[in-house]
Chain A
C-alpha cells in the first residue's frame, strides 16, 4: 500500500513565523504535489515537482516555496505566515504513467495562523 505521511495533523503558528510542512511518500513516486483546501474553493494546487530538485508553480504559489532534496520528501515552506494562509494543506504523490496518473494523498495538515 502506498503511504503518504505529513508531519503534523494540526499546527498553530503566529503571523510572521516561518512554517515548514513536511510530506514523505514510500512508493518511489516521481511526482509530488502540495494543495490547499478551503471551503467553497475545492483543492488548489500550490506547487508540484516531477523529480528531485525540480519544482513547478501551481495555481497559487504566492507566499509559498518548496524544497525537494530527496525523491521521497517534499516540503512546503511558508516564509512569513499570514492569517490568510490558515487552511487545510494536502500533500499527494503519483507515479508517472502517461495518461493514467492517480494521486495518493496524505491525511492533511490543518494549519491555523493567529
Chain B
C-alpha cells in the first residue's frame, strides 16, 4: 500500500507538553499534508510541505519531511486541551495531482 502510516496510533499528554506524530510512506510524492479532525467532524487542513522542502512552521506546528527516509513528523508545541483531536497525514503521489492518500491517523488526547 502507498498509504501513509502513522505512529503512534494514540498519544496522551499533559497540557503544555509537546506532541510528536510520525508518518511514513512508500512512494514518490509531490507533497505531504497534515489534517486535523475533531470527533465526528470533517477534516481541516493544517499544513502542506512540498517534496523539495525539509521543514515548515505554522504557529505552534512544525513539520519536517525526509524524502530519503520517506517520513514526516508533526510537532505541536505547548499543547492545549483544545488540540485534542485526530491528526492525519496525507500524501499527494507524484504525477497524480489532486488525489490524496490518507494515513490511519493519530488520536491525540491533551489532558488539562
Contacts and interface: CB of A to CB of B under 8 A. Distances in A.
Contact of B31 (A4, A48, A100): A100
Given A50-B98, A96-B97, A102 B42 contact: no
Interface in B10-58: 30-31, 33, 35, 40-45, 48, 50
Interface in B68-112: 88, 90, 92, 97-105
Tell me the dominant secondary structure on chain B's binding face.
strand
B103 A42 contact: yes
Question: How many of chain A's residues touch chain B, expressed as a range?
Answer: 20 to 34
Interface of B: 3, 30-31, 33, 35, 40-45, 48, 50, 88, 90, 92, 97-105
7 contacts: A40-B104, A90-B42, A92-B42, A96-B97, A100-B30, A103-B100, A108-B42
Interface of A: 4, 31, 33, 35, 40-43, 45, 48, 50, 58, 88, 90, 92, 94, 96, 98-108, 110
